[in-house]
Amino acid sequence: MKPISQMTTADLIEIAKKIDKPTWIKIGIGAAIALVFSVVVVWPAWFEGAKVKGQIAVIESQIVRLQTLKRNEKMWLQNKEDYTKYIKEVKARLFSPGEASLLLGRIAKLADESKVSIISSSPRDGKVEFPKPFDDSFKADLYDFTVEGGYHEMAHFINRIESYPQILRVELFQLSPNEDVPGKHLAEITLSAVSKKEGVS
Pairwise CA distance, residues 184 & 148, whole Å: 7
CATH superfamily for 99-196 is Ribosomal protein S6/Translation elongation factor EF1B (3.30.70.60)
Domain boundaries, the chain: 1-92, 99-196
> Picking from 12-16, 89-93, 99-103, 151-155, which range would have the lowest pLDDT averaged per residue?
12-16
Residue 114 has pLDDT above 90, yes or no: yes
Sheet of 168-177: strand order equals 117-124, 138-149, 185-196, 168-177
Q: What is the pLDDT of residues 18-69, one digit of tens each?
A: 666 666 566 667 666 666 656 555 555 556 566 667 777 777 777 777 777 7
C-beta of residue 173 within 8 angstroms of C-beta of residue 187: yes
> In which band, very low, low, confident or very high, does the pLDDT at 142 lie, cut at 50, 70 and 90?
confident
Residue predicted with more confidence, 111 or 38: 111
